[in-house]
């Protein structure tokens, strides 16, 4: 008989309140060993709060946080097998790089020998491509290098779980992309769980094995990046993760998993239904820009006028004004572009594959609808 591996992290019915403010509630989450998980959500949704409860910097008001099967209630941060890179990674400006990295090691009791400390700090610096920088002062480093020092400092104790709170937010785009790749490689090499907090959906989708989408103190959806993108659980996720067009309409009939929809411009389309949709209900339909196909007038379901075109080399992005529906964004691949670009002012028809439109109850936008808390589990 095989037993399920003990999860690296588990939230069981966790809530955190600060006085009258409920930062998070109803959090249930299971993270398997050696996973790369992203906590993704808008500012104030509770990402840092969840991370700080794993790290031991906050205690849950309700429920339990377990690390590798052990309830962490009452366990201080320095006794937990985790380390955290903070949102504002505070390095000690008066210490050199090596001493910043080895700071935690020097606090350990029983004491480690100076040789051992220096060896471990050297290893951690090598992991983040900073071998040889040990004697530099912090102000003699670039922003990206300082970021690496913060990372090395968190890795030097060989934690079972590394918590990263927006670690790349301060870096420019090029450096961020480089660091994203390095973090991914590092996570694979070390084989430990990384929990990355970000409000950047591209970062979450590109880096992690699992994305945990949060909104207003709750977990809305947990899944692999492609699942989050292609099968969003609700309108908030569809809108927050990736670009999408949201069209208003009404359900006219349903059969199985799909519904017939009359869009606000009067056109009839079929959409996959997300949630229990009934005839007469107001809905929002999500259509990704890359799912739209521009055609000569006459063929597609929707009709509009090209307002703007942005040629990006491999793709072209169009803004298309559709009367009564607003401006739709369409991305066409190079192949489509080869067939001829559409010009601003040109009338076009818009087509899309069956199954591309997703229909959501209109009232769940921004999580206004009360959600039931449901158990979410990452299955490795
Ligand atoms: N110490 C505190 N006292 C009172 N309220 C707090 C405290 N810390 C956080 N909050 C509130 O809890 C909510 C969640 O905060 P949290 O820092 O977890 O958000 P976040 O998702 O990390 O946001 P950001 O992306 O801006 O960092 C916010 O409404 C915040 O104002
Ligand atoms: Mg935060």
Q: Which atom of ligand 1 is nearest to the CA of 49?
A: 18
43/129 same-domain check:
yes
Pairing of strands 347-352, 292-295: antiparallel
Q: Which residues are CB-contacts of 168 (< 8 A; sequence separation ≥ 6)?
A: 147, 176, 179, 180, 198, 203
What is the pLDDT at residue 13? 98
State how far the Cα of 338 lies from the Cα of 352, in Å rounded to an integer: 19
CA angle 200, 89, 53 (to 5 degrees): 75
190/325 same-domain check:
no
Domain that holds residue 323: 292-352
31/119 same-domain check:
yes
The reply to whether 163 falls in a domain is: yes
Lookup: tokens for 177: 């992309």
201/85 same-domain check:
yes
Q: Which residues are CB-contacts of 253 (< 8 A; sequence separation ≥ 6)?
A: 259, 260, 279
301/180 same-domain check:
no
Ligand with an atom nearest the CA of residue 214: 1
20/137 same-domain check:
yes
pLDDT tens profile 246-276: 999 999 998 889 999 999 999 999 999 988 8
61/207 same-domain check:
yes
Q: Candidates 17, 39, 44: which one to mutate for ligand 1, based on the most atoms within 8 Å of Cβ?
A: 44
pLDDT band at 371 (very low <50, low <70, confident <90, very high): very low
Task: Compute, in angstroms, the gap from residue 51 CA to the centroid of ligand 1.
Answer: 11
The reply to whether 67 falls in a domain is: yes
The reply to whether 39 falls in a domain is: yes
The reply to whether 261 falls in a domain is: no
50/118 same-domain check:
yes
Ligand with an atom nearest the CA of residue 86: 2
pLDDT tens profile 342-370: 889 999 999 998 889 999 998 644 444 33
For ligand 1, atom 14, the nearest C-alpha belongs to 46
With a 6 Å cutoff on the Cβ, whether 48 touches ligand 1 is yes
With a 6 Å cutoff on the Cβ, whether 21 touches ligand 1 is yes
With a 6 Å cutoff on the Cβ, whether 46 touches ligand 1 is yes
Q: Which residues are CB-contacts of 9 (< 8 A; sequence separation ≥ 6)?
A: 29, 30, 31, 54, 65, 66, 67, 161, 193, 195
For ligand 1, atom 5, the nearest C-alpha belongs to 18
**Which CATH number is 53's domain given?**
3.40.50.300
Looking at the structure of the chain, the number of domains it has is: 2
pLDDT tens profile 165-204: 998 887 888 888 888 998 999 999 999 999 999 989 999 9
With a 6 Å cutoff on the Cβ, whether 45 touches ligand 1 is yes
The reply to whether 4 falls in a domain is: no
% of the chain surpassing 70 pLDDT: 93
**Which CATH number is 345's domain given?**
2.40.50.100
Task: Compute, in angstroms, the gap from residue 39 CA to the centroid of ligand 2.
Answer: 10
The reply to whether 258 falls in a domain is: no
325 has a pLDDT exceeding 70: yes
50/144 same-domain check:
yes
Q: Which atom of ligand 1 is nearest to the CA of 22?
A: 12
CA angle 57, 63, 66 (to 5 degrees): 65
pLDDT band at 159 (very low <50, low <70, confident <90, very high): very high
222/304 same-domain check:
no
What is the pLDDT at residue 38? 97
For ligand 1, atom 18, the nearest C-alpha belongs to 46
Q: What is the mean pLDDT of residues 199-211?
A: 93
């Amino acid at each position: 008989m095989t037993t399920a591996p003990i999860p690296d992290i588990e939230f069981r019915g966790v809530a955190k309140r600060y006085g009258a403010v409920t930062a998070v509630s109803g959090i249930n989450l299971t993270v398997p060993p050696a996973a790369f998980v992203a906590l993704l959500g808008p500012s104030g949704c509770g990402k840092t709060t969840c991370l700080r409860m794993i790290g031991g910097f906050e205690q849950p008001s309700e429920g339990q946080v377990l690390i590798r099967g052990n309830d962490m209630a009452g366990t201080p941060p320095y006794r937990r097998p985790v380390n955290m890179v903070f949102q504002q990674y505070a390095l000690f400006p008066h210490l050199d790089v090596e001493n910043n990295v080895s700071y935690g090691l020097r606090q350990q009791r029983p004491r480690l020998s100076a040789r051992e400390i220096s060896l471990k700090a050297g290893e951690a610096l090598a992991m983040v491509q900073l071998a040889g920088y040990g004697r530099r002062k912090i102000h003699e480093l670039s922003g990206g290098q300082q970021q690496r020092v913060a990372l090395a400092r968190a890795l030097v104790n060989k934690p079972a779980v590394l918590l990263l709170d927006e670690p790349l937010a301060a870096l420019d785009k090029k450096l961020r992309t480089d660091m994203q790749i390095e973090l991914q490689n590092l996570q694979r090499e070390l084989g430990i769980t990384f929990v990355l907090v970000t409000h950047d959906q591209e970062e979450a989708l590109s880096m992690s094995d699992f994305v945990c989408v949060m909104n207003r103190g709750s977990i809305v959806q947990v899944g692999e990046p492609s699942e989050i993108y292609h099968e969003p659980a609700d309108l908030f996720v569809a809108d927050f993760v990736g670009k999408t067009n949201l069209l208003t309409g009404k359900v006219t009939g349903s059969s199985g998993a799909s519904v017939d929809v009359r869009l606000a411009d009067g056109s009839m389309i079929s959409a996959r239904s997300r949630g229990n949709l009934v005839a007469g209900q107001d809905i929002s339909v999500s259509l990704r820009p890359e799912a739209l196909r521009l055609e000569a007038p006459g063929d597609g379901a929707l009709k509009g006028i090209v307002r703007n075109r942005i040629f990006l080399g491999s793709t072209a992005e169009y803004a298309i004004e559709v009367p009564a529906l607003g401006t739709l964004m369409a991305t066409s691949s190079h192949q489509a572009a080869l067939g001829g670009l559409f010009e601003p002012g040109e009338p076009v028809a818009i087509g899309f594959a069956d199954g591309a439109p997703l229909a959501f109850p209109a009232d769940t936008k921004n999580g206004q609808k009360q959600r039931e808390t449901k158990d979410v589990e990452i299955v490795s």
